[in-house]
Amino acid sequence: MMTKQLLLFALLPIALGAQILDPVVLTKPATDAWPTYNGDYSGRRFSTLNQIDQSNVMHLTLGWVFRVRAGAVPGAIVGGEGPAPVEGGPPNPDLSTIKATPLMVNGILYFATPDNAWAVDARSGHELWHYFWKTKGGIHIGNRGVGMYGNWLFFETPDDYLVSLDARTGKERWHVEIADVKQEYFSTPAPIVVGNHVLVGTGGDSLDVPGFLESHDPETGAIQWKWWSEPLKKGDPGSETWPDEYSMRHGGGMTWIPGTYDPELHLYYLGTGNPNPVLTGRGREGADLYTCSIVALNVDTGKLAWYFQPSPHDTHDWDAAQTTVLIDGLFEGKPRKMLAQANRNGYFFLLDRTNGKNLLTAPMVDTINWSKGIDANGQPIPNPDKEATISGVLVSPPSDGVTNWPPPSFDPDTGLFYVGVKESFSEYYLTDTDPHPEGYAAAEKYITSYGGSLLAIDYQTGKTRWKHSYIFGGGPIGILTTAGKLLFAGDGLGHLLAFDPSNGSILWHAGLSDDVSNGPETYMLDGHQYLVVGAGDSLYAFLLE
């Protein structure tokens, strides 16, 4: 208790100052801050810091470890609409697994797990405050962290509230309901703050409900606009890709990955989730826009500027909810504004982000067997024979994909896009033969995997430049690259590794008590470059000796 008061006291100079987060910081690559989920709006997860480099990375040493104690523990600030949690019982690993990338602003780290948020001293790993939300329910699968506007923090809960906290104290300012947990919505994304817009998505595809993205006022929580990921009525753009209004109003398309933003174009980019019912296309014949799509929205109005659909008429749960990475560079010799996505369906996509035009589509692995080729627009053509049947179809990838939400990275120095992948198969068995199937409608049995790997993809050709494969381990994993010519990633086997991003050789590693569970991040503090990573219930901070 004593230490806690001292720490709060130490915070006072900041508390008395003006805004904690200067909005300008969000528009340039992070150096002495990590102010938004991906470090900056581009989604590249490339840091210009180079104090830690190839020549000294082997001297990285552990600075501190912070282990979360989730739940209504003594000292926690308690909020929420749900009943008081049952005392005792084993700790729930879902509540303490760190999938968030912590924000670091003025020496304080801010992050969340389902129902919990923390402020931690970035120098020492000491807890400043802990906020606990009493839940009404919802799937507690993960939380990707907090967003920040001035002194205010925002995070989402599994029972679909947007909660705003005062970053200085952890005290709640307000909460607003964004979706109905009884309709099986649950919310995991980190809100992204652009100007005075707090961009909030949601998830949930157990029942057949429509997805949406909302913009909220950071001061009051009031809704500014709402974009539905399906057309609402016949005649609306995209409605021609559904059989009827009933199917589009139950069509899924969740918005659970934090998006990226181009301040010049004023566009917010986002990959949407799978259509519903999930594993059968019956009852929703057509491309099912704008599910499994990359969309560009005007950030002030929520109006759709363009879309590209990586998985037209998806029947395998391949959300396009992977980070949409913004690349400025050459393509076919000309400078271009581009957007790259390593998609769950197994393909790498490169688009012109001014208009959504496809520049390149390339398979990332050899096992994918569900498409009949690429159409003139660069979209894979699904093979209807690989849609679930009663007797089963063998499909690669399984529903969790070749890759998934863990953040990839683009390194402008190497021109390579890095992503964790795995090559695996599932059998998909149709279980609901009703003309109006509901929910998932099919059962999936995981068959086998050929292992995971870390890929370095040349964004201009889609070709793999190098591949580091694991017999065990690997798979979708969060990645960071830096100007110190380093790539940091986990191996799924309890290690954090530093690679040479040009050729994949391993330069350093540390054993952690669990697998890396978020995207690693880096920042300067007191003249030291910190490397911070979450693995299971703990954050680890490394710096040079």
Partner 1 sequence: MDMRILLQRTLRAIAGFSICVALAAQPAPPKYDPVSVARGQQAFVASCGFCHGSRAKGGEKGPDLLRSVVVLDDENGKGIGRVILKGRPEKGMPKFAMTEDQIVDIANFLHQSIYSAADRDSYQTLNIVTGDASAGKAYFNGAGNCGSCHSVTGDLKGIGAKYEPVTLQDRLLMPLDFGPSASTKAVVTVTVTTPSGEAVSGPLLWIDDFTVALRNSQGTYVSFARKSDVIPQVEVHNPFKPHSDMILHFSDAEIHNLTAYLVTLK
Q: CB under 8 A: which stretch of 7-15, 162-170, 234-242, 248-256 binds partner 1?
A: 248-256
- Among 256, 261, 418, 530, indicate the residue that binds partner 1 (CB under 8 A): 256
Number of residues that bind partner 1 (CB under 8 A): 80
* Beta strands at 334-342 and 495-499: parallel, antiparallel or unpaired: unpaired
Residue with tokens 């560079």, as numbered in its chain? 329
Assess 230 for contact with partner 1 (CB under 8 A): no
Instruction: List the one residue out of 351, 340, 397, 347 whose CA is nearest residue 377.
Output: 351
Sheet of 495-499, strands arranged across: 46-47, 479-482, 486-490, 495-499, 506-511
Please state, in angstroms and rounded to a whole number, the distance separating the CA atoms of residues 288 and 291: 6
Site for partner 1 in 80-119 (CB under 8 A): 93, 97
> How wide is the angle at C-alpha 161 spanned by C-alphas 157 and 165, nearest 5°?
80
Instruction: List the one residue out of 543, 492, 488 whose CA is nearest residue 519.
Output: 488
Give the residue with the Cβ less far from partner 1, 79 or 534: 534
Q: CB under 8 A: which stretch of 20-28, 70-78, 107-115, 386-394 binds partner 1?
A: 386-394
**Contact yes or no for 102/147 (Cβ under 8 A):** no
**Contact yes or no for 460/422 (Cβ under 8 A):** no
| The token pair that represents 169 in the structure block | 């104290």
Residue 483: CA count within 13 A, CB half-sphere: 10
Assess 491 for contact with partner 1 (CB under 8 A): yes
Site for partner 1 in 504-543 (CB under 8 A): 506, 509, 515, 517
Residue with tokens 């198969």, as numbered in its chain? 425
Site for partner 1 in 131-160 (CB under 8 A): 139, 141-142
Assess 288 for contact with partner 1 (CB under 8 A): no
DSSP E strands, 210-322? 212-216, 223-228, 260-262, 267-271, 294-298, 304-308
Distance of closest approach, residue 168 Cβ to partner 1, in angstroms: 32
Distance of closest approach, residue 415 Cβ to partner 1, in angstroms: 25
- Among 432, 467, 500, 524, indicate the residue that binds partner 1 (CB under 8 A): 432
Site for partner 1 in 460-479 (CB under 8 A): 470-477
Assess 424 for contact with partner 1 (CB under 8 A): yes
Distance of closest approach, residue 474 Cβ to partner 1, in angstroms: 7
Assess 317 for contact with partner 1 (CB under 8 A): yes
Site for partner 1 in 265-284 (CB under 8 A): 273-274, 278
- Among 167, 430, 454, 541, indicate the residue that binds partner 1 (CB under 8 A): 430
Residue with tokens 């009493």, as numbered in its chain? 134
Which residues lie across from 252 on neighbouring strands? 210, 275
Give the residue with the Cβ less far from partner 1, 375 or 434: 434
Site for partner 1 in 200-219 (CB under 8 A): 203-208
**Of all helices (H) and strands (E), which one includes residue 381?**
strand 380-382
Distance of closest approach, residue 165 Cβ to partner 1, in angstroms: 24
Site for partner 1 in 337-376 (CB under 8 A): 367
- Among 425, 467, 524, 528, indicate the residue that binds partner 1 (CB under 8 A): 425
